[in-house]
Amino acid sequence: MAVSLPEKFDDLPDKRRYWPGAPGSEEEGLGMLRLLTPDVVADAARSQIQTGERVCLNWDIENLTPPGFGRKPFEHKIKWVAEGVAFDDEYHFNPQQSSQWDGLRHHNAPAPTPEDPSRRVFYGGTTASEIIDTDSPRIGIGYWAKKGIAGRGVLIDYVSYAQKKGIPLNALTRQEISLDEVHEIAKECNITFQKGDIFFLRVGLPDTWSKMSAQQREAYSQQPMPQHAGIEQSERVLRFIWDNHFAAVASDAVSFEVFPAINEEFDLHHHILAGWGLPIGEMFDLDALAETCQKLGRWSFFISSSPLNCARGVSSPPNCMAIF
C-alpha cells in the first residue's frame, strides 16, 4: 500500500515538522523509512539487480582516528574465550566515529512555545527525558532494525564532477555543493529521482583524510567547531528533498550538509531529521561505489542496510551494501 504524504513542500502546513505517526508507534519510529513499502522494495530489486555485482559502503571503523567532537576513540581487543581453543573480540566504539545512520534520537530542533521559548524536541515531539528513560524505546533505532533499509539508491558523484571541472575539493572545509550542481550531475548521468529513493552524495572525505598527517588529524579532532563540506543548506534544498520524497539521504562527508550552517534558518538536521524523520547517513565509503557506477554506466542500484537491533539506540553503523 502506498504511503500518503503532502505532495509538495508548499503543501506542508508546517515546513519545519511533519509528524503523522502516533507517539510511540511503529509509524513514528520508522519516520520516512515507511516509504519503503514491500511494493517499492520489490520494484527496486526488479529494476536494479542486473549483474549481481556488490559493493559495501562501510568505511573502515578505525579510520577516523582521533574522532572529532570529543568522541571516544575506537577500541578493539582480541581475547581468549577458552584458552588455547577459541578467541572472542570486544569492540568499544561510538557509531558516529565512522559510517553511520543518524537515528531519530540523535538531533533535536528548536520548538519554542510562549511558555518555553528555548524548548527543543526530537522527532515526533519526543523529549530528552523520554530518550534517557531506560523504559522508553520511543523513536529508537530498533524500529529501523526490525524492517531494515532496502530500496533504490542513486549516487550524485560530486568528486568526479569536481575533477572534471577543475574544482579544488577538500571535505574538511566549509565547501558548499550547490543544488544547481546536483541537478547538473543528475542530468549528465540520466538520473530521474523516484519516490522512496535513497539519495547518496559523494564529497570525498576518504581522499581528504588519507592525505592528512597524524598531526593534521589530531588538530582536526581538537577543533571546537570543525568545518565540513556538504550540500548547501537552503529552502530550495529542503524543497528538493521533500518534493522527491526520499526515504533517506547519505554522504561520505562528516555531515551530509555543509557545516557549520551558512544559514541557520534552513539547518537540514533540524528540518529533515528532527522535523521529517528522514535518516541521514554520514561517512559512508562511496569510492568503490562510484567506480562501479562509472564502469557500468549507471548511477542507480539496490541498497540493503541492517542497523543494529538496539531498541533505544541513537545511531548505528549502516552495515550497508549496494547491489547492481
pLDDT tens-digit readout, 141-156: 999 999 999 999 999 9
Q: What is the pLDDT of residue 63?
A: 77
Query: To the nearest whole number, what is the mean pLDDT of the chain?
Result: 94
Confidence of residue 64 (pLDDT cuts 50, 70, 90): confident
Confidence of residue 171 (pLDDT cuts 50, 70, 90): very high
pLDDT surpassing 90 at residue 62: no
- The neighbouring-strand residues paired with 304 are 150, 321
Are 5 and 195 a contacting pair, CB within 8 Å? Answer: no
Find the mean pLDDT for residues 79-103: 90
Ordered by where they begin, the domains of the chain are 9-69+92-323 (3.50.30.50)
pLDDT surpassing 90 at residue 304: yes
Percent of the chain predicted with pLDDT > 70: 99
Confidence of residue 1 (pLDDT cuts 50, 70, 90): low
Write out the three cell numbers for 104. Answer: 531519530
Q: What is the pLDDT of residue 252?
A: 96
Lowest-pLDDT range of 22-36, 74-88, 172-186, 212-226: 212-226
Q: pTM for this structure?
A: 0.94
Rounded distance between C-alpha atoms, residue 103 and residue 70, angstroms: 20
- Quick check: bond before 67 cis, omega within 30? no
Q: How does 121-134 read in b/e, with b if 16+ C-beta sit within 10 Å?
A: bbbbebbeebbeee
Find the mean pLDDT for residues 25-37: 97
Find the mean pLDDT for residues 267-277: 96
Percent of the chain predicted with pLDDT > 90: 82
Confidence of residue 278 (pLDDT cuts 50, 70, 90): very high
Confidence of residue 3 (pLDDT cuts 50, 70, 90): confident
Confidence of residue 295 (pLDDT cuts 50, 70, 90): very high
Q: Are strands 280-282 and 248-251 parallel, antiparallel or unpaired?
A: parallel
